[in-house]
Structure formats: structure tokens, C-alpha cells
Amino acid sequence: MTCQVCTHINETFEEINKDAGALIVADEALTHEFLKRIRPFLESQPSWSDFPFLVLRQIAPDTPDMRRRYALLGNITLLDRPVSTVTLVSAAASALRARTRQYEMREIDRRKDEFLAMLAHELRNPLAPISAASELLRVPTLDRKKIQQTSEIISRQVRHMTGLIDDLLDVSRVSRGLVTLDEGVQDAWQIVASAVEQVRPLIDARQHQLTVLDLPLTASIFGDQKRLVQIIANILNNAAKYTPPAGQISLSVVVDDTNVIFSVTDNGIGMEPEVLAHVFDMFAQAERSSDRAQGGLGIGLAIVKSLVNLHGGQVTAHSAGLGKGSTFTITLPRVTEAPASTQTVYSELKSVKTPQHIMIVDDNVDAAVTLGTILEIAGYKVSIAHSAKAALDQVSINAPRICLLDIGLPDMDGITLVKLLRNHSETSTALIIAITGYGQDSDRKKSLHAGFDHHLVKPVDLQELLGILAAL
């Protein structure tokens, strides 16, 4: 510790105003002038501050006047003279340690205030369109189309507010240790697929390129499947929000003898060292103000750290600085037992020798993106079209080796589309599979007669599909 000796009252207050951590003062120095000058300082202390005094007291009769002087100082430790060196040093160290904690509370209060201001902002955002929509619905001449559009606005904004409240409740439960894990042996492959599926809309909206690397065929983790997905999804969501549009994001999974290691790297805005040191702390994310453009409360990383700890793992963050991107690494204990439901899927995946180009044609955006994500993780190159026309346009530019077609397309049914693909020189010999909700024998015969190689009914059996693809 650093110590400054003051021989005059003016020097004492100069040091106090320089953020001295504590003051050691002899009781004979507690003059009326000293107490008069110290009172404004003590009364103006912020709520987090309680400046400590160590008073070296003479062994003398206890008087009401001295008790009053001691009381005016507030946070006081009395040390009778002569005091031993070890006692004095120990008392000073304790006072400074307590003062350091006060400064830490000041920082937490500052972050909390920023967080509450941000929360108010985020809650007001959806309230504005909801309020406007409710006023609009009072207009007696509003037509049916406008009523439907207004209703959809209210529904979207209510869902957004519900998500904010769910985040708050989640972080409260996690921080108080009220989360109960539904534990079992989980597959890293399925965790990644589910997490990517959740974050895909944001990644696509910001035009990012997401690359999944080094995904092992067999890697198991003992934990809660929902929470493990939440961990990876929150990290991916964080990368998507802090990376400018059309950025690069990669997710890699590495397995060693004892751990499964997930790493998410982006080429986004990065972090300065002072932000990096607190990035997993509660309320710290408010400092990364660019996130406000995407909304949300910025508490995802605090939740991640707590959930990783509950699973016996570790999470770290690295950034070379502003504008140099970030890498988040999650290390979780590995178990050697593989989930029984995925054993056969693994055997099919092992048969994939070279990446093939697959085109998925489905007007259901969520269904197409989800299936595409799974196939990308399995090692295939995937393109997606949401109409027959878009599919034919893609074929002319980059013909696929495999086509997965929905039958009920909006502009042209899959039966007609498969005939056109069979007549196209680039796709005449392609593997074409019907992905449809129609599962009667007559439907199967009709699709096979039209030119499909296989007929799979939604929801698709992933094991069956991967088996067909692996046999190609």
C-alpha cells in the first residue's frame, strides 16, 4: 500500500480529494476546524461510499465530547496507542480492502443504472407501435386488410416484449441458483444444429456468412439439451449482432480426450481490454452500445457464463481490439457414451465421402432453412429456393447434384417441377427426392411416376434421408 504523511490540515484534504483510500489520524488532530471541514465531504458522499477513518486514540478518560467527534466521522476504527505495527498495518489493510469493495459497488451501480435506462428504452420501443395500433383500431372506417395488418403489428410487438421479460426472468433464476437441469447424454451435433436453427433468421437478416468447421461425428456432453442449445445460440446471437452486415462468423467444435470445445469467431467490432475484462458480468454489455441497433437487453453472455458453470465447464472471450473481431470459447466436459438415438445417424454420416450440392425447394422458409442447416453441418453444400421459378433459375446458374422438392409449391407443384428438371440437361440424372406432407400410397406412386427417386413424408426422418444421401 502507498502511504502519504500529512503535517497540515490542508495537505490532508488535498489527499482526500485525490481519492485517498483511508485516513489514519491521531485523536488530538480531530479539532473543531478539522471536523468542520470534513463534514461537507462526508455529507456529499454518494450512496456507495463510506470513507474509513483509523483514529489513533490516547489512553485517556472517555468523554462525551470525544464520543461526539468520533460519531461525526461515521466509519471509524479506534486503535489505542501505543499500537503495534502488525495491528496498525492489519487495520489499514482491512480499511483499504473495504474501500476497494465500495468502488466495485460504485461500478456495479453505474452499470445497473445504465441497464435500467436501457431496459426502459427497450420496453418503450414495442409500446409505441402497440399504442398507435390500438388507436388505429378505434377508427370505425378501417378496412379488413388494415385491421389484419394492425393486429399483426400488435402480435409481433407483444412477442418481442415477452422475449424481453423471459430474458429478465431467466437471468434472475440463473443468478439465484433456481435453474434445474434436465440432464442426460447430449449430442454435440444436434446441439449445434438446433442453435444454428434458432439464430439463422438474424444471421440471414444481416447477410452474414456462417461456416461450421470441424464438427465431430461423435461427441457427447452430459447436460440439459435445452440449456446447451441456449448457450451456443446466445454466443452466435452475440456474434451476429456485433458484426457489421455481410460479416464472417465461424463455429468450430474440437474434441479431445476430456472436453468438447466450441469456438465462435467473428470479424465484428471487437472489444477493448477494459470491456473484455467484464464482458460476462451482469449489466456490463450496456457498454457495447452498438448492440442497441439490434435491440435486446444484452444479458445473454451473463446467462451463458452461469449456465456453462452449472455444466462444469468454462467460457472465455478474446479480442485483439476494436475492429478486430472476437472469439468466444466454451469448454464442456466430454462423456464417451453416445446418445442411442444418434448411433445410426453417425454411421450414415461416416459414409459421406465428398460434399455434394443439394438444392432445397420449399415455400415454408423455416422448414427449408432448418433442413438446410442440418445438411450443411453434415458436410453438404446447400442452396435454397422458395418457389419453382427460383429453383429453375438456380439450376441454370449452378446445377445441384441432389434436389429436395416440396410438392405443394405456390407457383408450380412439385410434380410439374420434377418433370422440368428431368428434361433439363444439368439435372436429368440428379437425385431428386420428394419432401411432402402427402403420404398416401397413391401419392407415392404419383411422385415416383413423375420422376422422383424417393418420396419422404414430413416431418422428414433424418436418419432415412441421410442414409439415402450417403448411398449416392
Q: Give residue 125's pLDDT.
A: 66
Q: Report the 10 Å Cβ neighbour count for 425.
A: 8
Question: Could you tell me if 396 and 456 lie in one domain?
Answer: yes
Tell me: cis bond preceding 244? Omega within 30 of 0 counts.
no
SS3 263: strand
* 184/463: higher pLDDT: 184
Longest dimension (CA), the chain: 110
Give the rounded distance of the alpha carbon of 301 from its chain centre.
5
Q: How confident is the model at residue 351 (pLDDT cuts 50, 70, 90)?
A: very low
How far apart, in whole angstroms, are the C-alpha atoms of residue 215 and residue 376?
Answer: 11
Cα separations in angstroms, 202 against 236, 370, 412:
10, 14, 29
- The answer as to whether 92 is a domain residue is no
Q: Report the 10 Å Cβ neighbour count for 382.
A: 23
Look at strands 402-406 and 357-361 and give their pairing.
parallel
Q: Give residue 171's pLDDT.
A: 66
pLDDT in tens, 37-65: 888 888 888 878 889 999 898 766 677 88
Question: Could you tell me if 241 and 133 lie in one domain?
Answer: no
Tell me: cis bond preceding 61? Omega within 30 of 0 counts.
no
* 263/13: higher pLDDT: 263
Rg of the chain in Å (alpha carbons): 32
Q: Give residue 117's pLDDT.
A: 65
pTM: 0.52
Amino acid occupying residue 317:
A
Domain with residue 147: its CATH number is 1.10.287.130
pLDDT in tens, 431-457: 999 988 777 778 888 999 999 999 998
Give the rounded distance of the alpha carbon of 196 from its chain centre.
13
Cβ atoms 347, 470 nearer than 8 A: no
| Close Cβ partners of 163 (under 8 Å, ≥ 6 residues apart) | none
How far apart, in whole angstroms, are the C-alpha atoms of residue 349 and residue 344?
Answer: 9
Domain count, the chain: 4
pLDDT in tens, 217-247: 568 899 998 889 889 988 998 899 889 999 9
Domain boundary among 175, 199, 228: 175
- The answer as to whether 89 is a domain residue is no
Domain boundary among 338, 355, 390: 338
State residue 413 phi and psi, 5-degree precision: -70, 160
Q: Give residue 287's pLDDT.
A: 46
Domain boundary among 175, 203, 219: 175
pLDDT in tens, 414-434: 999 999 999 999 999 999 999
Rounded average pLDDT over 160-177: 70
Q: Give residue 427's pLDDT.
A: 94
Question: Could you tell me if 196 and 154 lie in one domain?
Answer: no
Cβ atoms 164, 115 nearer than 8 A: no
- The answer as to whether 102 is a domain residue is no
pLDDT in tens, 326-343: 999 999 999 876 554 444
- Give the domain range for residue 159: 107-175
Strands lying side by side in the sheet with 431-436:
381-385, 357-361, 402-406, 431-436, 454-457
| Close Cβ partners of 322 (under 8 Å, ≥ 6 residues apart) | 269, 270, 271, 272
Q: Does 214 score more than 70 pLDDT?
A: no
- The answer as to whether 111 is a domain residue is yes
Question: Could you tell me if 333 and 367 lie in one domain?
Answer: no
Amino acid occupying residue 75:
N
* Percentage of the chain modeled with pLDDT above 90: 24
pLDDT in tens, 55-103: 898 766 677 888 888 888 888 888 888 889 899 899 988 988 888 888 8
Question: Could you tell me if 318 and 363 lie in one domain?
Answer: no
Q: Give residue 141's pLDDT.
A: 84
Among positive and negative, which fits the CA dihedral 274, 276, 277, 278?
positive
Domain with residue 332: its CATH number is 3.30.565.10
